[in-house]
Amino acid sequence: MRYLYSALYYALLPLLVLRMLWRSRRAPAYRRRLGERFGRFAARPALERPAIWVHAVSVGETLAAAPLLESLLEDYPDYCLVVTTTTPTGSQRLRALFGERVFHVYAPWDLPGPVKRFLHRTRPRLLLLMETELWPNMLHYSKAAGCRVLLANARLSAGSAAGYRRLGRLTRQMLLQLDMVACQGEADGRRFVQLGLPAAALQVIGSIKFDLVLDAGIVERAAALRREPGVRGRPVLLAASTHPGEEALVLEAFRQLRASGDPQLRRCLLLLVPRHPERFEEVFSLCCQQGWRVARRSAGTPPAQADDILLGDTMGELLLLLGAATVAVIGGSLVERGGHNVLEAAAWGIPVVSGPSMYNFAKSARLLRGAGAMLSLGPGERLAPVLEELLTDARRRREMGVAGREVLAQNRGATLRLRALVAELLRQP
Protein backbone atom coordinates (compact mmCIF):
# COMPACT_ATOMS: atom_id res chain seq x y z
CA MET A 1 0.00 0.00 0.00
CA ARG A 2 2.82 2.42 0.81
CA TYR A 3 4.35 1.85 -2.64
CA LEU A 4 1.03 2.64 -4.31
CA TYR A 5 0.66 5.74 -2.10
CA SER A 6 4.18 6.90 -3.08
CA ALA A 7 3.55 6.32 -6.78
CA LEU A 8 0.35 8.35 -6.59
CA TYR A 9 2.14 11.10 -4.66
CA TYR A 10 4.90 11.27 -7.32
CA ALA A 11 2.25 11.47 -10.05
CA LEU A 12 0.52 14.35 -8.28
CA LEU A 13 3.74 16.18 -7.39
CA PRO A 14 3.61 18.62 -10.36
CA LEU A 15 0.08 19.61 -9.29
CA LEU A 16 1.28 20.06 -5.73
CA VAL A 17 4.06 22.41 -6.86
CA LEU A 18 1.61 24.34 -9.04
CA ARG A 19 -0.76 24.63 -6.08
CA MET A 20 2.04 26.09 -3.97
CA LEU A 21 2.81 28.62 -6.68
CA TRP A 22 -0.88 29.46 -7.02
CA ARG A 23 -1.20 30.07 -3.28
CA SER A 24 1.92 32.23 -3.43
CA ARG A 25 0.02 34.82 -5.48
CA ARG A 26 -1.64 35.88 -2.22
CA ALA A 27 0.99 34.60 0.21
CA PRO A 28 4.44 34.91 -1.43
CA ALA A 29 6.06 32.84 1.34
CA TYR A 30 4.64 29.69 -0.25
CA ARG A 31 7.09 29.92 -3.18
CA ARG A 32 10.13 30.51 -1.00
CA ARG A 33 12.41 27.80 0.36
CA LEU A 34 10.85 25.15 -1.91
CA GLY A 35 14.08 23.15 -1.72
CA GLU A 36 13.39 22.38 1.94
CA ARG A 37 10.22 20.55 0.94
CA PHE A 38 12.42 18.23 -1.13
CA GLY A 39 14.75 17.63 1.83
CA ARG A 40 17.40 20.02 0.52
CA PHE A 41 18.84 22.55 2.95
CA ALA A 42 22.24 23.62 4.18
CA ALA A 43 23.56 21.65 7.14
CA ARG A 44 24.68 23.61 10.19
CA PRO A 45 27.10 22.82 13.01
CA ALA A 46 24.14 22.25 15.34
CA LEU A 47 23.27 19.12 13.35
CA GLU A 48 26.52 17.47 14.45
CA ARG A 49 24.78 16.77 17.77
CA PRO A 50 22.12 14.07 18.28
CA ALA A 51 18.72 15.41 17.31
CA ILE A 52 15.11 15.39 18.45
CA TRP A 53 12.72 16.11 15.59
CA VAL A 54 9.41 17.83 16.38
CA HIS A 55 6.86 18.28 13.60
CA ALA A 56 4.35 21.01 14.45
CA VAL A 57 2.53 21.69 11.13
CA SER A 58 1.12 25.23 11.51
CA VAL A 59 0.43 28.07 13.94
CA GLY A 60 -1.96 26.23 16.24
CA GLU A 61 0.31 23.24 16.73
CA THR A 62 3.35 25.49 17.12
CA LEU A 63 1.71 27.52 19.87
CA ALA A 64 0.50 24.38 21.61
CA ALA A 65 3.96 22.84 21.38
CA ALA A 66 5.79 25.94 22.63
CA PRO A 67 5.86 24.95 26.35
CA LEU A 68 7.00 21.46 25.35
CA LEU A 69 9.75 22.85 23.12
CA GLU A 70 10.96 25.04 25.99
CA SER A 71 11.03 21.95 28.21
CA LEU A 72 13.00 19.95 25.63
CA LEU A 73 15.54 22.75 25.30
CA GLU A 74 15.94 22.69 29.08
CA ASP A 75 15.98 18.89 29.48
CA TYR A 76 18.28 18.06 26.54
CA PRO A 77 20.86 20.84 26.08
CA ASP A 78 23.21 18.40 24.31
CA TYR A 79 20.63 17.68 21.61
CA CYS A 80 19.79 19.70 18.53
CA LEU A 81 16.05 20.42 18.52
CA VAL A 82 14.91 20.16 14.88
CA VAL A 83 11.43 21.65 14.37
CA THR A 84 9.53 21.40 11.10
CA THR A 85 6.33 23.08 10.02
CA THR A 86 4.26 22.82 6.86
CA THR A 87 2.91 26.35 6.49
CA PRO A 88 4.68 29.72 6.28
CA THR A 89 2.55 31.01 9.14
CA GLY A 90 3.78 28.20 11.36
CA SER A 91 7.34 28.96 10.27
CA GLN A 92 6.99 32.65 11.10
CA ARG A 93 5.52 31.94 14.54
CA LEU A 94 8.25 29.43 15.34
CA ARG A 95 11.01 31.84 14.38
CA ALA A 96 9.39 34.60 16.44
CA LEU A 97 9.19 32.35 19.51
CA PHE A 98 12.52 30.53 19.32
CA GLY A 99 14.82 32.27 16.85
CA GLU A 100 18.08 30.33 16.48
CA ARG A 101 17.51 28.20 19.57
CA VAL A 102 15.98 25.52 17.36
CA PHE A 103 16.95 24.30 13.89
CA HIS A 104 13.94 25.00 11.68
CA VAL A 105 13.13 23.96 8.10
CA TYR A 106 9.92 23.05 6.32
CA ALA A 107 8.91 19.41 6.62
CA PRO A 108 9.85 17.34 3.58
CA TRP A 109 7.06 16.23 1.30
CA ASP A 110 6.11 12.65 2.12
CA LEU A 111 8.09 10.99 -0.66
CA PRO A 112 10.98 8.53 -0.23
CA GLY A 113 13.64 10.86 -1.65
CA PRO A 114 12.84 14.01 0.31
CA VAL A 115 12.25 12.12 3.58
CA LYS A 116 15.48 10.13 3.31
CA ARG A 117 17.48 13.27 2.49
CA PHE A 118 15.99 15.02 5.50
CA LEU A 119 16.79 12.10 7.80
CA HIS A 120 20.34 11.82 6.43
CA ARG A 121 21.01 15.48 7.28
CA THR A 122 19.35 15.54 10.70
CA ARG A 123 19.78 11.96 12.05
CA PRO A 124 17.08 12.27 14.74
CA ARG A 125 16.88 9.80 17.63
CA LEU A 126 13.27 10.70 18.34
CA LEU A 127 10.47 11.98 16.10
CA LEU A 128 7.72 13.76 18.00
CA LEU A 129 4.60 14.35 15.89
CA MET A 130 1.95 16.78 17.12
CA GLU A 131 -1.75 15.82 17.19
CA THR A 132 -2.66 13.67 14.14
CA GLU A 133 0.21 14.02 11.69
CA LEU A 134 0.50 10.53 10.21
CA TRP A 135 2.50 10.25 6.99
CA PRO A 136 3.42 6.80 5.62
CA ASN A 137 6.93 7.53 4.31
CA MET A 138 7.89 9.81 7.18
CA LEU A 139 7.00 7.05 9.63
CA HIS A 140 8.50 4.19 7.61
CA TYR A 141 11.89 5.75 6.93
CA SER A 142 12.19 7.25 10.40
CA LYS A 143 11.74 3.80 11.92
CA ALA A 144 14.12 2.30 9.36
CA ALA A 145 16.75 4.85 10.46
CA GLY A 146 16.41 3.72 14.09
CA CYS A 147 14.34 6.73 15.20
CA ARG A 148 11.74 6.33 17.94
CA VAL A 149 8.32 7.82 17.08
CA LEU A 150 5.93 9.49 19.52
CA LEU A 151 2.56 10.92 18.49
CA ALA A 152 2.01 13.66 21.07
CA ASN A 153 -1.13 15.53 22.12
CA ALA A 154 -2.96 13.13 19.84
CA ARG A 155 -6.60 13.60 19.02
CA LEU A 156 -8.82 11.74 16.60
CA SER A 157 -12.40 12.80 15.93
CA ALA A 158 -15.02 10.30 14.83
CA GLY A 159 -14.98 11.85 11.34
CA SER A 160 -11.19 11.61 11.03
CA ALA A 161 -11.27 8.01 12.30
CA ALA A 162 -13.78 7.14 9.58
CA GLY A 163 -11.45 8.63 6.98
CA TYR A 164 -8.46 6.64 8.25
CA ARG A 165 -10.61 3.49 8.37
CA ARG A 166 -11.19 3.78 4.64
CA LEU A 167 -7.42 3.52 4.10
CA GLY A 168 -7.48 0.11 5.78
CA ARG A 169 -4.08 -1.57 5.69
CA LEU A 170 -2.14 1.66 5.12
CA THR A 171 -3.54 3.08 8.37
CA ARG A 172 -2.67 -0.08 10.30
CA GLN A 173 0.86 0.00 8.88
CA MET A 174 1.32 3.60 10.00
CA LEU A 175 0.00 2.93 13.49
CA LEU A 176 2.36 -0.03 13.92
CA GLN A 177 5.30 2.34 13.28
CA LEU A 178 4.40 4.39 16.38
CA ASP A 179 6.30 3.55 19.56
CA MET A 180 3.85 5.52 21.65
CA VAL A 181 0.68 7.60 21.25
CA ALA A 182 0.03 10.19 23.97
CA CYS A 183 -3.69 10.93 23.61
CA GLN A 184 -5.69 13.90 24.82
CA GLY A 185 -8.69 11.83 25.91
CA GLU A 186 -10.10 8.33 26.37
CA ALA A 187 -12.34 8.59 23.31
CA ASP A 188 -9.38 9.53 21.10
CA GLY A 189 -7.45 6.56 22.45
CA ARG A 190 -10.28 4.11 21.76
CA ARG A 191 -10.44 5.25 18.16
CA PHE A 192 -6.70 4.74 17.66
CA VAL A 193 -6.88 1.22 19.10
CA GLN A 194 -9.91 0.37 16.95
CA LEU A 195 -7.89 1.41 13.89
CA GLY A 196 -5.05 -0.96 14.79
CA LEU A 197 -2.80 0.74 17.34
CA PRO A 198 -1.49 -1.82 19.87
CA ALA A 199 -3.08 -1.06 23.25
CA ALA A 200 0.36 -1.23 24.89
CA ALA A 201 1.45 1.80 22.83
CA LEU A 202 -1.37 4.02 24.13
CA GLN A 203 -1.10 6.57 26.93
CA VAL A 204 -3.92 9.01 27.81
CA ILE A 205 -2.26 12.11 29.30
CA GLY A 206 -4.62 15.01 28.55
CA SER A 207 -4.00 18.02 26.34
CA ILE A 208 -0.87 20.13 26.59
CA LYS A 209 -3.02 23.11 25.55
CA PHE A 210 -4.29 23.28 29.13
CA ASP A 211 -0.72 24.09 30.21
CA LEU A 212 -0.81 27.51 28.59
CA VAL A 213 0.79 30.16 30.82
CA LEU A 214 0.47 33.88 30.10
CA ASP A 215 3.88 35.38 30.77
CA ALA A 216 4.33 38.85 32.25
CA GLY A 217 5.38 40.33 28.91
CA ILE A 218 2.20 39.44 27.05
CA VAL A 219 0.05 40.47 30.02
CA GLU A 220 1.64 43.94 30.00
CA ARG A 221 1.32 44.29 26.23
CA ALA A 222 -2.37 43.38 26.41
CA ALA A 223 -2.89 45.94 29.19
CA ALA A 224 -1.18 48.56 27.00
CA LEU A 225 -3.50 47.69 24.12
CA ARG A 226 -6.56 48.12 26.35
CA ARG A 227 -5.26 51.57 27.35
CA GLU A 228 -5.01 52.80 23.77
CA PRO A 229 -7.43 55.71 23.10
CA GLY A 230 -9.48 53.82 20.52
CA VAL A 231 -9.91 50.82 22.82
CA ARG A 232 -10.09 52.27 26.33
CA GLY A 233 -13.54 52.15 27.91
CA ARG A 234 -15.16 50.30 24.99
CA PRO A 235 -16.56 46.75 25.01
CA VAL A 236 -14.43 44.69 22.61
CA LEU A 237 -15.92 41.79 20.67
CA LEU A 238 -13.17 39.58 19.24
CA ALA A 239 -13.86 37.11 16.42
CA ALA A 240 -10.87 34.75 16.43
CA SER A 241 -9.54 32.73 13.46
CA THR A 242 -12.52 33.27 11.16
CA HIS A 243 -13.07 31.39 7.90
CA PRO A 244 -14.92 32.31 4.68
CA GLY A 245 -18.59 32.86 5.42
CA GLU A 246 -18.02 33.62 9.10
CA GLU A 247 -17.05 37.26 8.70
CA ALA A 248 -20.44 38.02 7.15
CA LEU A 249 -22.19 36.36 10.10
CA VAL A 250 -20.09 38.24 12.63
CA LEU A 251 -20.56 41.58 10.86
CA GLU A 252 -24.33 41.10 10.78
CA ALA A 253 -24.35 40.36 14.53
CA PHE A 254 -22.10 43.37 15.10
CA ARG A 255 -24.48 45.60 13.13
CA GLN A 256 -27.36 44.46 15.34
CA LEU A 257 -25.33 45.20 18.48
CA ARG A 258 -24.43 48.68 17.29
CA ALA A 259 -28.08 49.36 16.43
CA SER A 260 -29.30 48.45 19.93
CA GLY A 261 -30.49 51.04 22.40
CA ASP A 262 -27.69 50.34 24.87
CA PRO A 263 -25.16 53.22 24.78
CA GLN A 264 -22.24 50.90 25.55
CA LEU A 265 -23.07 48.52 22.71
CA ARG A 266 -23.30 51.45 20.33
CA ARG A 267 -19.60 52.07 21.12
CA CYS A 268 -18.57 48.42 20.79
CA LEU A 269 -15.32 47.72 18.91
CA LEU A 270 -15.06 44.61 16.75
CA LEU A 271 -11.63 43.00 16.67
CA LEU A 272 -11.72 40.74 13.62
CA VAL A 273 -8.90 38.20 13.10
CA PRO A 274 -9.09 36.01 9.95
CA ARG A 275 -7.49 32.59 10.20
CA HIS A 276 -5.35 32.83 7.05
CA PRO A 277 -3.19 35.81 6.06
CA GLU A 278 -4.00 35.47 2.36
CA ARG A 279 -7.56 36.55 3.26
CA PHE A 280 -6.63 39.79 5.05
CA GLU A 281 -7.30 41.98 2.01
CA GLU A 282 -10.53 40.18 1.20
CA VAL A 283 -11.88 40.68 4.73
CA PHE A 284 -10.74 44.31 4.80
CA SER A 285 -12.62 44.94 1.55
CA LEU A 286 -15.74 43.23 2.90
CA CYS A 287 -15.76 45.46 5.99
CA CYS A 288 -15.24 48.62 3.95
CA GLN A 289 -17.95 47.66 1.45
CA GLN A 290 -20.41 47.44 4.33
CA GLY A 291 -19.55 50.98 5.36
CA TRP A 292 -17.52 50.27 8.48
CA ARG A 293 -14.57 52.42 9.47
CA VAL A 294 -11.68 49.96 9.72
CA ALA A 295 -8.27 50.29 11.36
CA ARG A 296 -5.58 47.74 10.51
CA ARG A 297 -3.29 46.27 13.12
CA SER A 298 -0.54 45.96 10.51
CA ALA A 299 -0.48 49.77 10.12
CA GLY A 300 1.24 50.03 13.49
CA THR A 301 -0.98 52.87 14.69
CA PRO A 302 -3.65 52.46 17.39
CA PRO A 303 -7.34 52.53 16.43
CA ALA A 304 -9.27 55.75 16.98
CA GLN A 305 -12.49 56.14 18.94
CA ALA A 306 -14.28 56.70 15.63
CA ASP A 307 -13.12 53.32 14.26
CA ASP A 308 -15.69 50.51 14.23
CA ILE A 309 -13.40 47.57 13.51
CA LEU A 310 -9.78 46.72 14.21
CA LEU A 311 -8.63 44.13 11.67
CA GLY A 312 -6.07 41.76 13.15
CA ASP A 313 -4.02 41.41 9.96
CA THR A 314 -0.74 40.44 11.62
CA MET A 315 0.66 37.00 12.36
CA GLY A 316 1.10 35.44 15.77
CA GLU A 317 -0.79 38.09 17.74
CA LEU A 318 -4.07 36.32 18.44
CA LEU A 319 -3.12 35.43 22.03
CA LEU A 320 -2.17 39.06 22.67
CA LEU A 321 -5.36 40.41 21.07
CA LEU A 322 -7.48 38.06 23.17
CA GLY A 323 -6.09 39.88 26.19
CA ALA A 324 -7.91 43.03 25.06
CA ALA A 325 -11.26 41.33 24.44
CA THR A 326 -14.47 41.48 26.45
CA VAL A 327 -16.05 38.45 24.74
CA ALA A 328 -14.49 36.05 22.23
CA VAL A 329 -16.26 34.29 19.34
CA ILE A 330 -14.31 31.26 18.14
CA GLY A 331 -13.93 30.95 14.39
CA GLY A 332 -14.24 27.72 12.45
CA SER A 333 -17.36 26.95 14.49
CA LEU A 334 -19.99 29.10 12.76
CA VAL A 335 -19.30 27.16 9.56
CA GLU A 336 -18.53 23.45 9.39
CA ARG A 337 -14.78 23.54 10.12
CA GLY A 338 -14.64 21.95 13.57
CA GLY A 339 -13.66 25.08 15.50
CA HIS A 340 -10.36 26.29 16.93
CA ASN A 341 -8.64 26.42 20.29
CA VAL A 342 -10.99 27.76 22.98
CA LEU A 343 -8.46 27.54 25.81
CA GLU A 344 -6.48 30.67 24.90
CA ALA A 345 -9.54 32.84 25.57
CA ALA A 346 -10.26 30.90 28.77
CA ALA A 347 -6.70 31.55 29.96
CA TRP A 348 -7.45 35.29 29.84
CA GLY A 349 -10.69 34.83 31.78
CA ILE A 350 -12.81 35.82 28.78
CA PRO A 351 -16.29 34.37 28.10
CA VAL A 352 -16.24 32.13 25.03
CA VAL A 353 -18.96 31.83 22.38
CA SER A 354 -18.89 29.28 19.57
CA GLY A 355 -21.08 28.01 16.79
CA PRO A 356 -22.29 24.41 16.64
CA SER A 357 -19.20 22.99 14.85
CA MET A 358 -16.58 22.23 17.52
CA TYR A 359 -15.61 18.62 16.80
CA ASN A 360 -11.87 19.42 16.60
CA PHE A 361 -11.93 20.67 20.20
CA ALA A 362 -14.82 18.63 21.54
CA LYS A 363 -13.30 17.82 24.94
CA SER A 364 -12.11 21.37 25.68
CA ALA A 365 -15.49 22.80 24.63
CA ARG A 366 -17.37 20.23 26.70
CA LEU A 367 -15.35 21.05 29.82
CA LEU A 368 -15.80 24.80 29.39
CA ARG A 369 -19.53 24.47 28.70
CA GLY A 370 -19.94 22.18 31.70
CA ALA A 371 -18.22 24.73 33.94
CA GLY A 372 -20.35 27.58 32.61
CA ALA A 373 -17.40 29.29 30.88
CA MET A 374 -18.61 28.87 27.31
CA LEU A 375 -21.81 29.16 25.28
CA SER A 376 -22.37 27.25 22.04
CA LEU A 377 -25.05 28.20 19.56
CA GLY A 378 -27.42 25.53 18.36
CA PRO A 379 -28.12 25.05 14.63
CA GLY A 380 -29.92 28.13 13.36
CA GLU A 381 -29.50 30.05 16.62
CA ARG A 382 -28.65 33.72 16.12
CA LEU A 383 -25.37 35.15 17.36
CA ALA A 384 -26.41 38.72 18.20
CA PRO A 385 -28.78 38.02 21.14
CA VAL A 386 -26.17 35.84 22.87
CA LEU A 387 -23.50 38.51 22.45
CA GLU A 388 -25.83 41.29 23.61
CA GLU A 389 -26.64 39.37 26.78
CA LEU A 390 -22.96 38.82 27.63
CA LEU A 391 -21.73 42.29 26.70
CA THR A 392 -24.32 43.92 28.95
CA ASP A 393 -23.86 41.62 31.96
CA ALA A 394 -20.50 42.27 33.65
CA ARG A 395 -21.26 39.94 36.55
CA ARG A 396 -21.93 36.98 34.27
CA ARG A 397 -18.77 37.68 32.29
CA ARG A 398 -16.72 37.64 35.49
CA GLU A 399 -18.28 34.36 36.59
CA MET A 400 -17.62 32.77 33.18
CA GLY A 401 -14.04 34.04 33.19
CA VAL A 402 -13.33 32.59 36.63
CA ALA A 403 -14.88 29.28 35.58
CA GLY A 404 -12.71 29.13 32.45
CA ARG A 405 -9.49 29.68 34.37
CA GLU A 406 -10.53 27.01 36.84
CA VAL A 407 -11.00 24.50 34.02
CA LEU A 408 -7.43 25.15 32.88
CA ALA A 409 -6.07 24.83 36.42
CA GLN A 410 -7.84 21.50 36.96
CA ASN A 411 -6.52 19.97 33.73
CA ARG A 412 -2.88 21.02 33.73
CA GLY A 413 -0.02 18.55 33.74
CA ALA A 414 0.00 16.96 30.26
CA THR A 415 3.33 18.59 29.35
CA LEU A 416 5.01 17.12 32.43
CA ARG A 417 3.63 13.66 31.61
CA LEU A 418 4.77 14.05 28.00
CA ARG A 419 8.29 14.95 29.13
CA ALA A 420 8.40 11.68 31.06
CA LEU A 421 7.41 9.73 27.94
CA VAL A 422 10.12 11.49 25.91
CA ALA A 423 12.71 10.59 28.53
CA GLU A 424 11.54 6.96 28.49
CA LEU A 425 11.85 6.68 24.72
CA LEU A 426 15.28 8.33 24.61
CA ARG A 427 16.56 5.90 27.27
CA GLN A 428 15.69 2.94 25.08
CA PRO A 429 18.58 1.57 23.00
Dist. CA 149–CA 247, nearest whole Å: 40
Dist. CA 207–CA 77, nearest whole Å: 25
Alpha helices in 57-213 (DSSP H): 59-75, 88-98, 112-122, 136-144, 158-166, 169-176, 186-195
Phi, psi (rounded to 5 degrees) for 330: -90, 120
**Where in 218-318 does DSSP place strands (E)?**
236-242, 269-274, 294-296, 309-311
Looking at this protein, which amino acid is placed at residue 186? E
Looking at this protein, which amino acid is placed at residue 292? W
Active site residue 48: no
- Among 406, 90, 151, 147, residue whose Cα is nearest residue 275: 90
Task: List Cβ neighbours of 119 (8 Å cut-off, separation of 6 or more).
Answer: 141, 142, 145, 147
DSSP state of 45: G
DSSP helix/strand/coil, 397 = helix
Task: List Cβ neighbours of 302 (8 Å cut-off, separation of 6 or more).
Answer: 228, 229, 230, 231, 295
Dist. CA 238–CA 38, nearest whole Å: 39
Among 61, 133, 278, 344, the active-site one is: 61
Between CA 129 and CA 180, with CA 89 as vertex, the angle to 5 degrees is: 5
**Where in 244-342 does DSSP place strands (E)?**
269-274, 294-296, 309-311, 327-330
DSSP helix/strand/coil, 133 = coil
Dist. CA 213–CA 344, nearest whole Å: 9
By annotation, the residues acting in catalysis are 61
